[in-house]
């Protein structure tokens, strides 16, 4: 599924145009991006939690050449699925 599929489903469920649905979907994603940039935790009950975690430095390998590559300090987004999304509940 891609973003356009989400927009189409929102439009179909709400009975609005794809343009209006795209505005809603884009606003939702923008709000999430802003919150994550500020380091806020996003909890969507029944879906899951998105959190920003610090990433340690480390050494990785370039899969093509096998050359060691330094991985810098950084931040990454982690997703923890809610109970309703666990593999036991999806059928």
Phi, psi of 87 (to 5 degrees): -60, -25
Do 46 and 9 lie in one domain? The reply is no
Low pLDDT (below 50) residues in the chain: none
Do 79 and 60 lie in one domain? The reply is yes
Q: What pLDDT, on the 0 to 100 scale, is given for residue 46?
A: 87
Percent of the chain past pLDDT 70, that is, above it, reads 95
Q: What pLDDT, on the 0 to 100 scale, is given for residue 85?
A: 81
Do 13 and 48 lie in one domain? The reply is no
Phi, psi of 5 (to 5 degrees): -65, -40
Do 80 and 57 lie in one domain? The reply is yes
Task: Name the pairing type of β-strands 74-81 and 58-61.
Answer: unpaired
Do 88 and 49 lie in one domain? The reply is yes
Do 17 and 53 lie in one domain? The reply is no
DSSP letter for 73, please: P
Q: Which two tokens stand for residue 29?
A: 């994603």
* 9 vs 80: CA distance, rounded Å: 24
End-to-end CA distance of the chain: 17
Q: What pLDDT, on the 0 to 100 scale, is given for residue 83?
A: 85
Do 55 and 85 lie in one domain? The reply is yes
CATH of the domain at 89: 4.10.520.10
Tally of structural domains, the chain: 2
Do 72 and 33 lie in one domain? The reply is no
Give residue 20's domain range. Answer: 1-38
Q: What pLDDT, on the 0 to 100 scale, is given for residue 84?
A: 82
């Amino acid at each position: 599924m891609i973003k356009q599929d989400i927009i189409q489903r929102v439009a179909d469920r709400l009975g609005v145009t794809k343009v209006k649905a795209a505005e809603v979907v884009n606003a939702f994603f923008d709000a999430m991006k802003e919150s994550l940039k500020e380091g806020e935790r996003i909890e969507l009950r029944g879906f899951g939690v998105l959190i920003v975690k610090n990433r340690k430095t480390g050494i990785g390998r370039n899969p093509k050449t096998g050359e060691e590559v330094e991985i810098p300090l950084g931040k990454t987004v982690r997703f923890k699925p809610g109970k309703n999304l666990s593999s036991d509940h999806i059928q």
